Chain A
Amino acid sequence: MRRALDSDGNPVITTSGLTKVYRSRGREVTALDGVDLHVREGEVYGVIGQSGAGKSSLIRCVNLLERPTAGTVTVAGQDLTALAGRGPRAGKELRQARSRIGMVFQHFNLLSSRTVQDNVELPLEILGKSGKERSRKALELLDLVGLSDKAKAYPAQLSGGQKQRVGIARALAGDPKVLLSDEATSALDPETTRSILQLLRDLNRQLGLTVLLITHEMDVVKSICDSAALMEQGRIVESGTVSELLATPGSELAAALFPVDGEATGDDRTVVDVTFQGEAATQPVISQLSRTYNIDISILGAAIDTVGGLQVGRMRIELPGRYEDNVVPIGFLREQGLQIDVVNEPLLVKEGAK
């Protein structure tokens, strides 16, 4: 497993060896299996995985709504697992720490008996703020999420997207440094999803808010995440910044973030995925390759996209001949600073190539 941590940026959320085992009727289910997560300050970090992969357990362990069986969670330099104590109930210190971590939920979890404004005021009530201060802060936050005209409405009178905006405003009431997003857009239509993601992105930039989100939608990661991790069966199988992932040969996450299709047209062909990032995208490498080695190249598929604010191009090309015949041209492509994944590379050679 690779660790996604480069020198700049302090980790604001760190989990190490996080393990969660559920026991029910003598059966044990391991939801988290030694998860090490490092989320740096000011970034949007996405954890993606299928349902049952453990991402929900992971995010709920971060503010200890779920008690980890083993491992530690540190948020903003504070070891939450040490604050938790032994009993199932959260002590005062843990509750104070939680109030500095915002959380938004898939199903919004707004109180139907309260108006929008009162919902946003709830965390402030818990913090013991005065009535005046509460309403000032709540109106300010509603303005920030673009719902100042709905302050007196009840949640049931709002659309899904509006409810999630209220949820976000509420999560920000305690001036958190960290926002946890538990599938915040999964109950919304694509259009609304985009606007909520945009809001999260804006908040991340304006307030310097660190966002840890979990999702099963690749699009979410693609549109707002700076870093991402892929979870499978309670483990993080890949993680890193989006550009690191795209630069990682054979990265599943990169392939899923940025898929290219195309099948080899015959047995004696070599299929190669070429990934361009930044500068390399401007070089006419394919025609150079063709001219230098006098080979015919066919393009099976290509796409250019913006992933995590990065312009990325990916192309799947086919070279005549088997891999052994193309070692030199592929070497040439690598020399140009491109990332090359040989799709039908024989296993034996793969070991050597690395």
Chain B
Amino acid sequence: MTWSEMQPLLEQACWDTLYMVGWSTLIAVVGGLPLGVLLVLTDRGGLLQNVLANKVIGQIVNVARSMPFIILMVALMSFTRWVTGTTIGREAAIVPLAIGAIPFFARLVETAVREVDGGLVEAVQSMGGNTWTVVRKVLVPESLPSLIASTTTTIVALIGYSAMAGTVGAGGLGDIAIRYGYQRFETELMWLTVAVLAVVISLIQFAGDYAARSLHRRGGRSGAAPKLRLLKASTATSKSA
């Protein structure tokens, strides 16, 4: 294959991947953030302590999170059809991607929010703040650097998931790699796909780290910033996939 043949293929696949990942990240953040915060609040000693609710949410999150994505995707097929009217294509892939990412992100949010010093919560309570104030003024803003890092991790994980979605007709870079690299032995295109993925993931990770760090810096005494975590995050991705 020549470059002029490969270029439009790659370009389209790249946009497809970003489209799927972008929307599913958005949904994962919108759904996972309140879920993660709720996991902290309902826990024993939390502001909305409710052991039963905590157990139920925690269990749902655990099961959904440990489900292999490819199985989740197949299992959700009828739901996907109900939502989007189809089970193939970019839009259809967003449904299982988002549903798979919500519990993933929720757990990361939970960890991030738990790190917030309980003294800050107490301080806001002593000023007469209610639970919603605590969430809005303390829990979310104080854990924001971690939340951004969690979002980055989620995006990178979703790129991994989206490649799997590609194998069942969602398009994107995963689809290219399978159809051309695996089925047609177009080694060059496959390596190009790998390169593009590496660049995309690196850029996202870099941007995420930069954002988290610049938020963190105003909190840190000097430039003591978390190190770039390109390698760590990509190994985490391969594990989660």
| Secondary structure dominating the interface of B | helix
Q: Which residues of A contact B48 (CB under 8 A)?
A: 89
Best-buried of A88, A113, A180 by chain B (most CB within 10 Å): A113
Q: Which of B119, B126, B127, B221 contacts A107 (CB 8 A)?
A: B119
Cα(A155)–Cα(B119), bound, Å = 15
* Closest-CB distance, A214 to chain B (whole angstroms): 14
Knowing A109-B117, A111-B137 are in contact, say whether A126-B219 is a contact too (CB < 8 A).
no
Q: Which of A90-140 contact B (CB under 8 A)?
A: 90, 95-99, 101, 103, 105, 107, 109-114, 122-123, 125-127
Let me know if B130 is at the binding interface, CB within 8 A: yes
Let me know if A311 is at the binding interface, CB within 8 A: no
A–B pairs, 16, beta carbons within 8 Å: A65-B122, A88-B49, A89-B130, A109-B117, A109-B123, A110-B123, A111-B120, A111-B138, A111-B141, A112-B142, A113-B215, A113-B218, A114-B141, A122-B124, A126-B124, A126-B133
What does the 1/0 interface line of B49-66 toward A look like (CB < 8 Å)? 100000000000000000
Q: Which of B127, B142, B220 contacts A126 (CB 8 A)?
A: B127
Best-buried of B127, B133, B137 by chain A (most CB within 10 Å): B127
Q: Which of B42-97 contact A (CB under 8 A)?
A: 47-49
Cα(A95)–Cα(B133), bound, Å = 12
Considering only CB atoms and an 8 Å cut-off, how many residues of chain A contact the other chain?
33
Q: Which of B127, B133, B218 contacts A174 (CB 8 A)?
A: B127
Q: Which of B130, B137, B138, B215 contacts A90 (CB 8 A)?
A: B130
Knowing A98-B128, A122-B137 are in contact, say whether A113-B123 is a contact too (CB < 8 A).
no
Chain A residues within CB distance 8 Å of chain B: 63, 65, 88-90, 95-99, 101, 103, 105, 107, 109-114, 122-123, 125-127, 154-157, 170, 173-174, 180
Q: Which residues of B contact A105 (CB under 8 A)?
A: 119, 122-123
Q: Which residues of A contact B47 (CB under 8 A)?
A: 89
Cα(A89)–Cα(B134), bound, Å = 13
- The answer on a CB contact under 8 Å between A113 and B119 is no
Knowing A89-B131, A109-B119 are in contact, say whether A103-B126 is a contact too (CB < 8 A).
yes
- The answer on a CB contact under 8 Å between B119 and A126 is no
- The answer on a CB contact under 8 Å between B127 and A123 is yes
Cα(A125)–Cα(B141), bound, Å = 15
Q: Which residues of B contact A99 (CB under 8 A)?
A: 127-128
* Closest-CB distance, B129 to chain A (whole angstroms): 5
What does the 1/0 interface line of B108-147 toward A look like (CB < 8 Å)? 0000000001011011111111110100011001101000
